[in-house]
């Protein structure tokens, strides 16, 4: 632009070549026509006029070339601006893409951390759910137990209420009711002693105590009850029972003495030769002592004796132990037969134990004789069964305790 402001007529710029755009084919005829006209005019003028005309042509050409140069410069400037803008836009886009890539990487890391946190949270939730489920199960079981406990408590309260009502009803009765209850309890205990423990003596005492309680009530309406108690007492006295307890004690004594009984052995103590003289201590009697020693040696070297009784083979220690245990087992079976009132098994067990004692033990020993005598005595014991099944006074006492009086037979039948 500084060149455009300089004078075009200056000698410096006269020799400069003006670069103008190539004229188009359309413009060539016009330029040619103008050149012809200029040549015809300059032909008629002087040489000075030719120089002025040539300078004017140069200036005209520069004026014509000036608009084209401006457009080119503007285009270049515009292209440069566009290029700068494009480079800036590319750089800005690169920065944006880099920032977006970093953001995506950070986002991926955040997502990974979030996934890990979600997994941990999920595991924690699962553990919490399991613990909650167990707690719910425990609470349900506890609630079920509480329900059962409440039901049991309600049942107990109802039973307690009924018991209180019954106690109130009983309290309104006569004082003899307690004595009747005591008599009924004594009769029940007598039945247990008789049928479970086979003890008729104690049963008789309990029945007599019950009769005393009824007699103390001094009620004429209880005559039938006292008559039934008297019949029960007489029936129990008439029973022939075996003293099971004492018999068991005797069998236990025999069992304890089995270990100390001696076995049957062969008598090896023969009579010694009474003619045998002892050896003296004197040196002078050495000939006699030598003769006596020689005779004792030759006479006792082989001895033959005769025995007319049967010889039993000796038992080994193991066989002795089995023998004692078998006898003990048979006596224990006899005790069991006593509790079961089994007369056949009792007698068979006693007989077999007695047979083994006489066969394998020394019959000349005093302990063996006492044991065999005890077994013979026990074998004669007869086991009697109790034929009495119930007491006549039991239903009457039950009526007295329940209703406060003995109901007539007609009412009971109804």
Q: How far apart are CA 311 and CA 270, in angstroms?
A: 16
Q: What is the mean pLDDT of residues 293-304?
A: 66
Strand partners, 361: 263
pLDDT of residue 303: 57
pLDDT of residue 299: 65
Query: Which class for 343: exposed (0-12), middle (13-18), buried (19 or more C-beta within 10 A)?
Result: middle
Q: Where are the beta strands (DSSP E) in 291-408?
A: none
Q: What is the pLDDT of residues 250-295, one digit of tens each?
A: 999 999 988 888 887 654 444 444 455 666 666 767 777 777 777 7
CB count, 10 Å around CB of 18?
A: 15
Identify the residue whose tokens are 């070549």: 17
Size of the chain in residues: 414
Q: What is the mean pLDDT of residues 108-136?
A: 89
pLDDT at residue 189 is higher than 70: yes
pLDDT at residue 147 is higher than 50: yes
pTM of the model: 0.40
Identify the residue whose tokens are 């006292």: 226
pLDDT of residue 304: 56
pLDDT of residue 263: 83
> Which tokens go with 341?
């009132």
Taking the chain, what is the end-to-end CA distance rounded to the nearest angstrom? Answer: 151
Cα Rg of the chain, angstroms: 74
Q: What is the pLDDT of residues 45-69, one digit of tens each?
A: 444 555 555 566 655 555 554 556 7
HEC string of 176-226? HHHHHHHHHHHHHHHHHHHHCCCCHHHHHHHHHHHHHHHHHHCCHHHHHHH
């Amino acid at each position: 632009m500084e060149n455009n402001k300089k004078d075009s007529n200056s000698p410096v710029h006269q020799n400069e070549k003006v670069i103008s755009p190539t004229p188009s084919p359309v413009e060539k005829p016009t330029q040619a026509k103008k050149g012809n006209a200029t040549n015809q005019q300059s032909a008629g003028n002087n040489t000075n006029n030719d120089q002025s005309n040539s300078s004017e042509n140069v200036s005209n050409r520069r004026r014509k070339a000036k608009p084209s140069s401006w457009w080119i410069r503007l285009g270049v400037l515009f292209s440069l601006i566009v290029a700068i803008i494009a480079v800036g836009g590319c750089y800005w886009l690169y920065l944006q893409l880099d920032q977006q890539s970093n953001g995506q990487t950070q986002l991926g890391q955040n997502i990974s951390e979030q996934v890990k946190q979600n997994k941990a949270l999920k595991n924690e939730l699962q553990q919490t759910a399991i613990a909650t489920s167990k707690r719910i199960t425990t609470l349900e079981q506890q609630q079920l137990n509480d329900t059962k406990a409440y039901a049991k408590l309600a049942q107990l309260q109802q039973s307690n209420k009924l018991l209180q009502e019954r106690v109130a009803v009983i309290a309104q009765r006569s004082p003899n009711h307690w004595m009747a209850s005591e008599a009924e309890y004594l009769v029940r205990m007598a039945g247990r002693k008789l049928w479970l423990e086979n003890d008729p003596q104690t049963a008789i005492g309990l029945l007599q105590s019950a009769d005393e309680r009824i007699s103390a009530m001094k009620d004429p309406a209880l005559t039938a009850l006292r008559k039934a108690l008297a019949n029960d007492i007489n029936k129990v006295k008439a029973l022939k029972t075996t003293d099971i307890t004492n018999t068991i004690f005797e069998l236990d004594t025999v069992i304890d003495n089995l270990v100390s009984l001696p076995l049957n052995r062969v008598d090896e103590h023969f009579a010694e030769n009474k003619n045998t003289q002892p050896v003296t201590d004197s040196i002078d009697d050495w000939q006699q002592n030598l003769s006596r020693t020689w005779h004792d040696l030759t006479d006792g070297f082989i001895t033959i004796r005769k025995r007319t009784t049967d010889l039993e083979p000796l038992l080994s220690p193991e066989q002795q132990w089995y023998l004692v245990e078998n006898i003990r087992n048979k006596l224990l079976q006899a005790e069991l037969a006593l509790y079961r009132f089994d007369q056949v098994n009792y007698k068979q067990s006693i007989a077999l134990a007695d047979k083994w004692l006489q066969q394998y033990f020394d019959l000349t020993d005093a302990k063996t004789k006492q044991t065999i005598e005890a077994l013979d005595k026990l074998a004669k014991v007869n086991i009697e069964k109790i034929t009495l099944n119930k007491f006549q006074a039991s239903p009457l006492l039950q009526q007295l305790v329940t209703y406060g009086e003995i109901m007539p037979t007609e009412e009971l039948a109804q």
